[in-house]
Chains A and B, each alone.
Chain A
Amino acid sequence: MTSYAPAAQPAVSPSPWGPVAFLGHVLTVVDAETRKLRHDPVELLMRAVQPTLWLVVFGQVMARLRGVPTGPLRYLDFMAPGILAQSVLFVAIFYGVSAIRERDLGVLNKYMVSPVSRTALVLGKALSAGIRALSQAVVVYVLALLLGIRAEWAPLNVIGVLLLILMGSAVFSTLSLAIACIVKTHERVMGMGQVMTMPLFFASNAIYPIVLMPGWLRAIASVNPLTYEVDALRALMVRGGASSIGLGVDFVVLLAFVAMLVAITTRLYPRLVV
């Protein structure tokens, strides 16, 4: 046997592996996802259909009912933030399917043998789902213009809305990822998504206020992250809207959910490649 010179070691360049590198890795994952969306934006257009139907069909009819106590807001104004939160939820709750696909293609294996921390990978995925969800905000804002919804256009409010969407999307996409790590097949992730969407949606303040709910449903709504997302969106997105929980509480609760779910999913993530 011929003898060969061993590979030089350390093989990796001496760039820092602290917080800066962590952030760089998160952004690398996000960047890869946004590049894919740029190559194939058709998916985003399809996603515009659902919120349009809800606002144009359901919203127009319900607006004539005038039976929902929406305070100073017209029903359509009351509902718009709820529909935005809902369409973000519907996209994010099936995000685990993409993890299954990446596992089947071997892409995930390759990420997992790299020295990047699992937390950075999960956080990157959560933010990537958020980037997709931002397109929903564009759709709902455009619909607001077309339907005469009184949207609040102050820059700080819009920034707040976008932040809320990133957080809401992170909550439900990491929940879906965690489920994917446990159930491990495409069909079951889809099934679990179907099972969860409607309860999450109806046990929230998205299309009617919490005061209308019976006590037991109100109890469920109070531990539903969607409720806090909608509450804050309502305060920031429409003119005359107000938070009934408190904007600070909404943001803190959502951040806590993100932190908890990212931590759980980070622990579960390696199970997907076994």
Chain B
Amino acid sequence: MTGTWHDVGRPEDVPAVQDTDTVAAISRSPAIHTEELTRCFGDLVAVDAVSIDVHAGEIFGLLGPNGAGKSTMIKMLTTLLPPTAGSAQVAGFDIVRDPTSVRRRIGYVPQALSADGALSGYENLLVSSRLYGLTRSEREERIREALELVGLADVADQLVREYSGGMIRRLEIAQAMLHRPAVLFMDEPTVGLDPVARRVVWGHVRHLRDLWGTTILITTHYMDEADDLADRVAVMHQGHVAAVGTPAELKVAVGGEATLDDVFVHFTGASIETGGSYRDVLRTRRTARRLS
């Protein structure tokens, strides 16, 4: 079990948006823009000429069975993996030509539980804040604020290996937000979490967007997650985007009393349970085990 979701509301001292020029610049351009983005591994085309736009301030769900190309998309957009062809801009900067500018403006919550178990929660946040170049006074203030926001202030000095899975996820969300990224990437953020912890994480994700207007791209193969959280979703299948739209639009497109599960099956021709390489399954299991 994990802690409960505290709705702390919007702190008084959090500035909304100060710089009007920047706002105008962002509003004109999407937070994420890809053009024919492609990545091959040998003969395998993992991502095949994907062109999508994610609007600023949007929660965008990337759906698809294992092996559909979601993780490869995230790796390219977070500058971990260079594309084979095509281009992409994240927060207004090109991922190939200006990766450092992209990195300064994005946050990332990987699928694996990536908080360092050998450090305390506070220390994890401290390391991140230093790597992102926050000044000493900013650091202390934002770490305290972040710990309160995700309800971990009481356990800040405990080693993370003593945390539950849900607590680690909340810490990672706090960690990814310390430098107030314009775009936050979350790769399967609730894999292995129990239903209550999942809802807590969803609450935090929505809260971040409402608080700071962060654009959030989230990959998932839980349809309830996409239905609950995402403003728009893209269904990926074998490296292609099979459909894009709001969950409601896609349900209408499939027709009848369609659920998002039906939408998924319709566009991918696959059941959610099938597919997935040995390595994918292993990784998911490993994450789930660490969470339990």
* Chain A residues within 8 Å of B, Cβ to Cβ: 1, 3-13, 15, 17, 21, 24-25, 28, 31-32, 35-36, 39-40, 104-107, 109-116, 270, 273-274
Contacts and interface: CB of A to CB of B under 8 A. Distances in A.
A109 B80 contact: yes
Given A4-B56, A7-B212, 14 more contacts: A7-B180, A8-B212, A9-B92, A11-B182, A12-B104, A13-B133, A21-B133, A28-B130, A31-B127, A109-B108, A109-B110, A110-B110, A110-B114, A270-B80
A30 to B, nearest CB: 11
A103 to B, nearest CB: 9
B112 A105 contact: yes
Interface in B168-215: 175, 179-183, 209-210, 212-215
Contact of A8 (B22, B106, B117): B22
Contacts of B22: 8-10
B260 interface: no
B111 interface: yes
B104 A115 contact: yes
B159 A39 contact: yes
B176 to A, nearest CB: 8
Given A11-B181, A12-B104, A113 B118 contact: no
Given A1-B246, A32-B123, A7 B134 contact: no
A195 B191 CA distance: 39
Contact of B209 (A4, A17, A115): A4
26 contacts: A1-B58, A1-B246, A5-B57, A6-B26, A6-B27, A6-B31, A6-B56, A6-B215, A7-B180, A7-B183, A8-B16, A8-B17, A8-B18, A9-B26, A9-B92, A10-B104, A11-B181, A12-B105, A13-B179, A32-B123, A105-B112, A105-B117, A106-B110, A106-B112, A113-B78, A113-B108
A2 to B, nearest CB: 8
A219 to B, nearest CB: 41
A113 B123 contact: no
A12 B131 CA distance: 11
Contacts of A21: 133
Contact of B119 (A1, A10, A32, A111): A32
Interface string B84-116: 000000011000000010011110101111111
A5 B103 contact: no
Nearest to B123: A35
A192 to B, nearest CB: 22
B284 interface: no
A119 to B, nearest CB: 13
Q: Which A-B residue pairs are the 5 nearest by beta carbons?
A: A106-B114, A106-B112, A4-B57, A106-B110, A6-B56
B231 interface: yes
B9 interface: no
